């Protein structure tokens, strides 16, 4: 039997490590194992493009349901946004060197767009720090995420067409 204080520290450590693992899991999923080149076939590109579309849909769905979860709604939105970023990074890994070179400016704009969208989470935190209500801040965050993600995804689709993603 583990004494009370040692048991409490052990439980706290396990909870902390689990939380860190959950926060890093979307980032780790988007990476390719060492020594392996990501597949850059048209099929792999279509799959990666579809994964981005699915994550956009999941994020948009989260913006509709997050206000129902109270304080947990913010965490849901962060998680879904991180998953979108991970899917987008995996998508970029599926592009050929020629596509990456040809679309460098477009991809940089998409990266910048995600960075701008991420700022909405800082605005949420500032709204709370200024004494705003959590429910109001969550509704505002959902509205901004819905609009900005929709615009970002429209540009993503245009860029995929320009880069001929999924075509031989």
pLDDT tens digits along 86-105: 999 999 999 999 999 999 99
Report pLDDT for 11: 38
Report pLDDT for 31: 53
pLDDT tens digits along 124-149: 999 999 998 989 999 999 999 999 99
pTM over 0.85: no
Report pLDDT for 70: 85
* Cα atoms found within 13 Å of the Cα of residue 147, Cβ hemisphere only: 7
CB < 8 Å & 24+ apart, contacts of 49-56? 49/91, 49/160, 49/165, 49/166, 51/87, 51/90, 51/91, 52/84, 52/87, 52/88, 52/91, 52/153, 52/156, 53/153, 54/87, 55/80, 55/83, 55/84, 55/86, 55/87, 55/88, 56/84, 56/149, 56/153
Report pLDDT for 35: 57
Calpha distance 80→59 (Å, rounded): 5
Report pLDDT for 19: 47
Given a cut of 50, the residues of the chain with pLDDT beneath it are: 1-2, 4-29
């Amino acid at each position: 039997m583990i004494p009370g204080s040692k048991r409490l520290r052990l439980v706290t450590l396990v909870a902390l490590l689990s939380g860190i693992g959950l926060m890093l899991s979307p980032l780790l999923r988007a990476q390719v194992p060492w020594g392996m080149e990501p597949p850059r076939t048209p099929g792999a590109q279509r799959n990666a493009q579809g994964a981005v579309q699915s994550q956009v849909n999941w994020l948009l769905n989260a913006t509709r349901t997050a206000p129902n979860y109270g304080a947990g709604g913010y965490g849901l939105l962060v998680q879904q946004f991180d998953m979108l970023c991970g899917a987008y990074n995996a998508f970029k890994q599926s592009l050929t060197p020629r596509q990456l070179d040809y679309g460098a400016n477009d991809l940089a704009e998409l990266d910048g767009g995600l960075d701008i969208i991420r700022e909405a989470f800082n605005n949420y935190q500032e709204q709370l720090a200024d004494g705003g209500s959590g429910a109001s801040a969550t509704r505002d965050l959902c509205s901004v995420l819905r609009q900005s993600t929709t615009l970002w995804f429209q540009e993503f689709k245009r860029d995929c067409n320009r880069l001929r993603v999924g075509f031989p």
